[in-house]
Structure 1
Amino acid sequence: MPCGGGDIGLNVWSENGDVLFYIARSGTFDENNSLLKLGRVRLRLTPNPFEKGTFKQELALQTGDVTLTGTVGKTTARVHVWVDVFRPIVHVEVNSTEKLTATASYESWRFEDRVLKGKENNQNSYKWAPQGEVKTRHDSISFRGHTVEFFHQNQPQTVFDVAVQQQGLATVKTQLFNPLQNLVFGGVLWGENMQPASTTDGQYLRTPYRSWQLKSRAPAHNHSLTLVLHTAHVTSQQGHLGLLAINSPAKVQWQAGLQQVISTLPNPLAARRRTVAWWRGYWNRSFIHIQPSQPTANAPEWQAGRNYQLMRYMLGCNAFGTSPTKFNGGLFTYDPVLTDSTLKFTPDFRNWGGGTHTAQNQRLVYWPMLKSGDAALMKPQFDFYLRLLRNAELRSQTYWRHPGACFTEQLENFGLPNPAEYNWKRPTDFDKGLEYNAWLEYEWDTVLEFCLMMLETERYASQDATPYLPFIESCLTFFDEHYQYLARQRGAKALDGEGHLVLYPGSGAETYKMAYNSTSTIAGLRTVLTRLLELPPAYGTLEQRQKWTAMLSRIPPFNFREIDGHKMLAPAKTWERINNTESPQLYPVFPWDIYGVGKPDLTTAVNTYRYDPDVQKFRSHVGWKQHNLFAARLGLTNEAAELTVQKLQDSGRRFPAFWGPGYDWAPDHNWGGSGMLGLQEMLLQTNGRKIYLLSAWPKAWDVHFKLHAPYQTTVEAVVKGGKIQELKVSPEARRADVEVLLK
């Protein structure tokens, strides 16, 4: 069961009478770019109220906490676990009707170095192509006074250095942003009236661990544990191995920062009130409750509404992270043998990397936040890109001598392609700016969705777009400059006969390769440039707006094809092969919002959904598949409902919103995100200032929802028996823009 807040995620459960939780925090990347957990805590009470009695565990969404209650005979104990939203603190509070002894253990599987072999390297940036031995280095763990202190210090040499050398960027290395250098992360655990007891070794789900135990000085009705986390980039390292030796300057720096956090700890009651207020505000901002008067657990449509809320809860647990919520598990991954029994790895494992950013998947985690009213939660994702802007620009300057930010797919958190995907076995004369990879070559347009998200936060939430304009302009400049550069390599002209860019070679997602004028790229460039020009006049100088207008005029038109008499969008003008199973010919529907309900030529897009042979073949609800979104945006109620319910039905795991692994890992957050989007689009769509309600909503489903629309608008409605019973639009002046399309 997930529990979290701020930038911390816990997996909380009870087993053999113990209460356990994993600890994860945003940004805890080791030297190999694995996203490491911060350990496991085990609590045991004696006499034990969680053995051979009644037991209940509950996640309270409204207040963001988990409570475990056990009763044996006359003894009832309650363990309350919650995370401070505003500070990196985990609280565990024990209350019992009888006096109990409490033993709290900090458990770590990183008490010694671990050599990673085979598929276990999929958790880091080396993947299937490690260059020599790869180790997860041990943490430093010890009793310190009445506490257990633990931390991980990155070695001086990291995968960043390996990638820079591999990709021919040594001459600009000192200019590159490096998030792994001098990084230290960890924390301290203590208990009120508890003292160090012993250190023991054990094994959990095939993984050896060492345990540092704290024990209460005497039995009591009440016990409390406090876990404080701290992450820092220290300014110096000690020793040629970079180890945090006793009293080394780096260790002292990190400990000083940790003590600063501890010295400013708020009163727990006041912190609890602020945390509860934050979660209540979160849930008041938006919601979707399906069949609210008939909460039938096995009804698929009720499950879809309930699991929408659970997925949104997990997204809220990384509201203030230094790194975005990862599509392949977020903060809530767990022992891999529970996902794949053949994987005898540690709880640090997740498939497709820790620091590796797959934009095609990440986008589905963040798009739902606009209509849920959580635009402020998009900041970690936007900051991720802003930090990498200079690195992406240096790639273009170094390789091709032209301006613009080049962001590849399978991007590391330091802005360079993943080394394994970049490929170590490259022809010596192959362009160093390109990934030598059949799936990823020439796939540069995924960043454009995040450009549009940045612009949409201005429309939806009136957030200032000024900090994002240099980033967006640089991404657009890359396409304008690079495709003219490529055209000049082939001939005397930089543009085609109509004055348009020749987007070749290009890519339609990872599917249509060596594409000429990919539809997804055309749609992305057109939409981002159009939205830039639609910004209020205060944004951009006259010169900038003239530049955007000129660039927009160079974007080529869409390509169409006809099959069995049906006109439809083509994936591109031409392509050489199909590599994956995406449907980018429908990206003009979602995310680019060019075709859809209330927009011109809807029939062409509907034909593409229904008759394109590849779209039909690739159609699915699994993982990042987004056919439910296409159907919703096109007003295809039955198809949208079928696929969205399949996406959001119970996962089959104990926690119903832990979907996956799909194509990625469990819990699959891009699976959940695309499910959220499907429900939102079935309920509310927009076209300019127009707001369309229920354009793909089944009449048989009652619903109470509150969602956000552009121009700082909220819409709340109660639908019963196929009719709107209540409708609230804020501001009221926007009610005139609302049109109900329930069929």
Structure 2
Amino acid sequence: MSRSDLVLKKPSWQAYQSMPVGNGTLGAAVWGEDGFSAQLNRADTFPNLKSAGRLVVPGLFPLLRAPDYQGRLRLHEAELAQSGGGMSARSYMRADRDQFVLEVTGADPDVTQTADLRLWEGRSPVTYAGRGVAALAETFKDAKSGGTTGAVAALTAAGRDVTAKVVDDRTVRLSFKPRADGSFRVVAGVPAYTGGDLGAAADRAVSGALGEGIDRAHRNWWERFWRSAAPMRITSPDGSGEYMETLRAQQLYMTAATMRSAVPSSHGGVINMFSPWRDAVHWSADHWWHFNLRQPVYTNFGADTEEFNVPYFRLYLDRLEEMREWTRTHWEGSEGVCVAEYLRYDGTAEACDSKRPPDWLNRIVTTGPEVVYNLWLQYRYTRERSILDESYPLMKDVARFYLSILKEGDDGKLHLHNVNAMETQWDTSDPATDLAAMRVIFPIIADLAGPKGDAKLAADLRAALPKIPDFRKVTRNGEQVIAWSGTDEQGRNTQNPDTEPLFPWGLYGAESELMQSTFRNRVYVQTREWSEDALLAARLGQGEEMKRLLVQGTKDFQIFPNGFTAHGKNADPIRESNYYNGWGAIVGSALQESLVQSYQGTVRVAAAWPRDWEVSGSVQVQGGHRVSTQVRGGEPVAVGIQAAGDDRLKIANPWPGQQVRVVDGAAGRGAPVAGPTDAGVIELAVQGSRSYLLERVDRPNGSFPFEAVGGERAQDVKSLGNRRLGVETSVAQIPGEFVGVVKPDKLHALVRAEKGAPTHVDRNYVISELPAALEGTELIRGANNDSKMTSPADYLVFDLKRPATVHVAFDARGKGTWWPGWLNEMGFTETGTTVRTTDTSFIVLKKEMPAGRVVLGTNSGVAGQGSSSYFTMVGGG
């Protein structure tokens, strides 16, 4: 796994470069601002998923600024390790407790350290300090449901002379000295909290945090996780295979680090548990879009990590009664349950409403069938019959809903009217999505209904099956393809309903020319980070196209060095405020489906593997069996099967036309089990806990020397075009010699003025030309989002620690038009010099100022006008 570690050649000074650690219910984004920052986020602080706060430890500045700095996000240990200047820091989220841990060595034992927990404007926590523990806590009342959620963030330290105090109404602080050997530990416990004695809650939050070996259970948990997950090692001449291997590993890591709560952690594709952006959440923090949940569910099946699908299933199973009531009152004439595509955490919805006009999400009715099918697949992959027993009431009600809204037409077929084809078509008839869904789930539910005593339901479903309309065909680009639906409403969003019969429903395979042409002529090609095109290509046996789509999609979407993406193409990471995680699941599923697939009842090995990617890997197939192979030049060397239970498998001959045989896989045995045969499909009876080897007769296993699959840990940042995994460069924050910014907080992090230095906190503009006199000054960056502000008068406030020259650089395009009056009023004069950036040219003005507080105004003096915001440089006076 260390091949996929994320290497930090420079510290991640900026928030968008943060590294993620989590334990499934509590996550943290860790970056270098102010020495060491970690924003702490729970997955259950509904309705707005507000953060529990930010931990700041300034004493790590020497480590981050050291010339020999090095860092690494260790996926196997789930920890961020950093070192430099004789110091080391290791941070992780305990797998067994809701506690974030920072372990430091090499600090000066005589220098007092501080650790702050901070919230920000708009937050109203309760504070506590006592007995070496400091805490913030806040609860949130949901006006709609009446429920209360919240979190306490409690801070303690292992060191000497630990004291706690309340700094202000949103900040608490620990002060302490390291142990005599220069080591110390800071722990932030962040459990759920709905009120009560804060001191007692804080003590409980950090209990057990100061003992020895507190990381033992944590490391054991992650060791077990990686041992059970299906591995995949990819090499390629151009490094693209290794890059995809890392993206898949990062997806599995992210899943284990976020999906152990009672509900899914991702909303609309946003992974809020790893956010460093305060309380910003795209879309709705209290609702889930099902479409954004389905990709990681499928990835988990192939990766043998399906235990992390449980929060997804609990979201729907635990809200069955609420969904029944919603359907009864909002969809006239229906029975059973309409599972809303857009479901709120309290079981209410903003969809499944026949009384409301159609919109993006209303009248999408395929969500229920997808949940049903995924429950069925969860059973197929785990072999746990109890899953079907628990989920049958939901399955039955989804089937009853469909039967109740189908209308028989003059053609004798059962039609759906006034429903959506995903978000693409609104208020249409017979969407391809629903026709495919009914074909798949009706037989499954009918087979379950009989033994459950629901003979009539079983009969109704079987009677309905032959009456489901055929997919409508249309012509695109001269080829016949499946239509989105039975009618021709305009396209709204960029999903492709016509490819749904391929995935998720698996009604077609690579041999289907109709599906091949539908895929070739799909209307929308990989438009968003959730686009499943690469997975579709894999199912259709198009290995090279799968590779091309993965590479292009990564270049389009993956803008963050931790592997997360933006929602659309070519976004600027410094302007984003959310991490999206859907692309990692697309990569994982596409790779797994390319290597081993089993969706049509037949196992196919290397059916879509690119020729120039070599791989040694395993994929779990239906039945819970693990299939392992090595592929060289697009062809498997041999195929191993670890059976999960007694079963009969159909395996497509990996070497078409060649004679193959199956031998017992136990070491030293090699007894023949099946073959020799050159059949296109080999049928094999397997027994639980037994292993088998499928090989070519002309290449017996004995002719291959044993070679262990291993690898060296990553030594460098990985690159794919202009994309990176890991941190290669970053502009260092400086502790101000002259300046301490008071407000706004977003401008407090200082950098050194020099060529290449960033001039704004929310744009990627950098200095290209700088007067020599300003080299090395302390730079307070601007915020371009504030460029048209005309108030308040105290927009920028900072303290001068000693007399200095204050320079302000104003956009030359605003001179004589929108420049603010405070420049003249305060006595700023032009220097006759300019600073050029990659954006524009700035005129420099200056003023000599004494030590003390400085108050500067906004960028503009004219309402509605203003270009690039000013920035400030301070040096000796």
Give the C-alpha shift of residue 268 in structure 1. 5.3
Alpha carbon RMSD of aligned pairs, Å?
3.1
Question: Which residue of 369, 383, 390 corresponds with 2:314?
Answer: 383
Question: Which residue of 598, 616, 625 corresponds with 1:713?
Answer: 625
Give the C-alpha shift of residue 286 in structure 1. 3.3
Structure 1 residues not aligned, in runs of 5+: 115-136, 161-177, 202-208, 235-249, 337-346, 423-430, 485-493
- Residue 576 of structure 1 aligns to a residue whose secondary structure is coil
Kept after mapping to 2: 8 A contact 1:290/1:701: no
More helix by share: 1
| Residues 690-736 of structure 1 deviation map (CA, whole Å, 9 limit, x = unaligned) | 21011111111101111110111001212223332343211298796
Kept after mapping to 2: 8 A contact 1:635/1:696: yes
Match of 1:367 in 2: 298
Change (3 A) 1:197 1:396: closer
Kept after mapping to 2: 8 A contact 1:310/1:657: yes
- Are 1:670 and 2:636 counterparts? no
Match of 1:340 in 2: none
Match of 2:604 in 1: 692
Change (3 A) 1:11 1:742: farther
Question: Which residue of 489, 505, 508 corresponds with 1:595?
Answer: 508
Give the C-alpha shift of residue 335 in structure 1. 4.9
Kept after mapping to 1: 8 A contact 2:446/2:462: yes
d(CA) in 2 for partners of 1:718 and 1:42?
Answer: 47
Change (3 A) 1:403 1:649: same
Question: Which residue of 477, 487, 490 corresponds with 1:577?
Answer: 490
Kept after mapping to 2: 8 A contact 1:101/1:215: no
Match of 2:335 in 1: 403
Match of 1:211 in 2: 171
The number of equivalent residue pairs is 625
Give the C-alpha shift of residue 495 in structure 1. 2.0
Give the C-alpha shift of residue 210 in structure 1. 4.5
Match of 1:42 in 2: 56
Match of 1:608 in 2: 518
Match of 2:184 in 1: 223
d(CA) in 1 for partners of 2:643 and 2:449?
Answer: 20
- Residue 361 of structure 1 aligns to a residue whose secondary structure is helix
Match of 2:41 in 1: 24
d(CA) in 1 for partners of 2:594 and 2:178?
Answer: 58
Match of 1:477 in 2: 400
Match of 2:138 in 1: 152
Question: Which residue of 553, 563, 566 corresponds with 1:657?
Answer: 563
- Residue 224 of structure 1 aligns to a residue whose secondary structure is strand
- Residue 695 of structure 1 aligns to a residue whose secondary structure is coil
Question: Which residue of 75, 88, 91 corresponds with 2:101?
Answer: 91
Kept after mapping to 1: 8 A contact 2:480/2:517: yes
The 5 Å alignment of 1:556-575 reads 556-563=469-476, 566-575=479-488
Change (3 A) 1:46 1:544: closer
Give the C-alpha shift of residue 279 in structure 1. 1.6
Match of 1:357 in 2: 288
The 5 Å alignment of 1:129-528 reads 137-155=123-141, 158-160=142-144, 178=145, 181-193=147-159, 195-196=162-163, 210-217=170-177, 220=180, 221-232=182-193, 234=194, 250-252=195-197, 269=213, 271-287=214-230, 289-292=232-235, 299-326=239-266, 327-335=268-276, 347-399=278-330, 400=332, 402-418=334-350, 433-463=354-384, 464-465=386-387, 466-481=389-404, 483-484=405-406, 494-497=407-410, 499-528=412-441
- Are 1:57 and 2:67 counterparts? no
Match of 2:733 in 1: none
d(CA) in 2 for partners of 1:590 and 1:650?
Answer: 23
Kept after mapping to 1: 8 A contact 2:113/2:178: no
Kept after mapping to 2: 8 A contact 1:519/1:571: yes
d(CA) in 1 for partners of 2:293 and 2:622?
Answer: 22
- Residue 49 of structure 1 aligns to a residue whose secondary structure is helix
- Residue 630 of structure 2 aligns to a residue whose secondary structure is strand
Give the C-alpha shift of residue 558 in structure 1. 2.2
TM-score for both structures, normalised by structure 1:
0.77
d(CA) in 2 for partners of 1:547 and 1:306?
Answer: 48
Give the C-alpha shift of residue 187 in structure 1. 2.9
d(CA) in 2 for partners of 1:455 and 1:438?
Answer: 30
Give the C-alpha shift of residue 356 in structure 1. 1.6
Match of 1:119 in 2: none
Give the C-alpha shift of residue 316 in structure 1. 1.0
- Sequence identity of aligned pairs in percent? 19
- Residue 728 of structure 1 aligns to a residue whose secondary structure is strand
Letter of the 2:243 counterpart: Q
Letter of the 2:615 counterpart: V
- Residue 45 of structure 1 aligns to a residue whose secondary structure is helix
Kept after mapping to 2: 8 A contact 1:67/1:81: yes
- Residue 365 of structure 1 aligns to a residue whose secondary structure is helix
| Residues 214-236 of structure 1 deviation map (CA, whole Å, 9 limit, x = unaligned) | 1114664221122222215x5xx
d(CA) in 1 for partners of 2:557 and 2:353?
Answer: 42
Question: Which residue of 6, 12, 22 corresponds with 1:4?
Answer: 22
Give the C-alpha shift of residue 141 in structure 1. 2.5
Change (3 A) 1:371 1:268: farther
d(CA) in 2 for partners of 1:196 and 1:51?
Answer: 28
From the CA coordinates, give the structure whose radius of gyration is larger: 2
Match of 2:676 in 1: none
Give the C-alpha shift of residue 369 in structure 1. 0.8
Give the C-alpha shift of residue 309 in structure 1. 0.7
Match of 1:532 in 2: 445
d(CA) in 2 for partners of 1:370 and 1:266?
Answer: 38
Kept after mapping to 2: 8 A contact 1:357/1:411: yes
- Residue 593 of structure 1 aligns to a residue whose secondary structure is coil
Letter of the 1:80 counterpart: R
Give the C-alpha shift of residue 509 in structure 1. 0.9
Change (3 A) 1:382 1:650: same
The 5 Å alignment of 1:639-654 reads 639-648=545-554, 653=559
d(CA) in 2 for partners of 1:97 and 1:255?
Answer: 30
Change (3 A) 1:538 1:700: farther
Change (3 A) 1:325 1:649: farther
| Residues 166-224 of structure 1 deviation map (CA, whole Å, 9 limit, x = unaligned) | xxxxxxxxxxxx4x6122322311112353465557xxxxxxx9432211146642211
d(CA) in 2 for partners of 1:26 and 1:441?
Answer: 26
d(CA) in 1 for partners of 2:176 and 2:82?
Answer: 20
d(CA) in 1 for partners of 2:530 and 2:367?
Answer: 14
Change (3 A) 1:277 1:542: farther
After superposing the two structures, state which structure 1 stretch, 316-325 or 91-100, moved more: 91-100
d(CA) in 1 for partners of 2:148 and 2:615?
Answer: 51
d(CA) in 2 for partners of 1:539 and 1:375?
Answer: 26
Structure 2 residues not aligned, in runs of 5+: 1-18, 570-575, 657-877
d(CA) in 2 for partners of 1:618 and 1:650?
Answer: 15
d(CA) in 1 for partners of 2:448 and 2:211?
Answer: 44
Give the C-alpha shift of residue 86 in structure 1. 2.5
- Residue 415 of structure 2 aligns to a residue whose secondary structure is coil
Kept after mapping to 2: 8 A contact 1:355/1:413: yes
- Residue 408 of structure 2 aligns to a residue whose secondary structure is coil
d(CA) in 2 for partners of 1:329 and 1:11?
Answer: 14
TM-score for both structures, normalised by structure 2:
0.66
d(CA) in 2 for partners of 1:106 and 1:514?
Answer: 54
Letter of the 2:328 counterpart: Q
After superposing the two structures, state which structure 1 stretch, 438-447 or 633-642, moved more: 438-447
